[in-house]
């Protein structure tokens, strides 16, 4: 189930942008806890922290995406198994009813 269309790529952009903003906000909050930093040091720490946070978010996103794909396959497999089982039970039930009706017709003659 791969969707490499333009809408799939476009759908990732707001999430990536939101993650980048979150990384920047967290970096600023972290740097604010270190009041002795110079402006250059603060900027460097914010840059490194934000980059690290964004990289961690990408790793987590990749793991969640991979697990989601695994679950789609697992649930599709289960669904097919249960659907087959239900259809076989239905066919067996129809066969039993047909057989009973056949017997009833023979007995009624």
Residue 1, pLDDT > 50, answer no
**Whole-number Å distance between alpha carbons of 48 and 78:** 45
- Across the chain, mean pLDDT equals 87
Contacts with 24 (C-beta within 8 Å, 6 or more apart), sequence order: 46, 50
pTM: 0.59
Check residue 5 and report its DSSP letter. Answer: S
- Sorting pLDDT into bands at 50, 70 and 90, what band is 7? very low
């Amino acid at each position: 189930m791969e969707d490499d269309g333009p809408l799939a790529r476009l759908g990732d952009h707001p999430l990536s942008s939101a993650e980048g903003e979150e990384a920047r906000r967290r970096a600023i909050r972290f740097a604010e806890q270190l009041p002795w930093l110079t402006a250059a040091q603060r900027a460097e720490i914010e840059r490194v922290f934000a980059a690290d946070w964004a990289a961690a978010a990408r790793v987590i996103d990749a793991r969640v995406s991979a697990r989601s794909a695994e679950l789609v396959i697992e649930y599709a497999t289960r669904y097919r198994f249960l659907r087959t089982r239900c259809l076989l039970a239905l066919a067996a039930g129809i066969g039993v009813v047909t057989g009973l009706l056949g017997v009833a017709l023979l007995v009624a003659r």
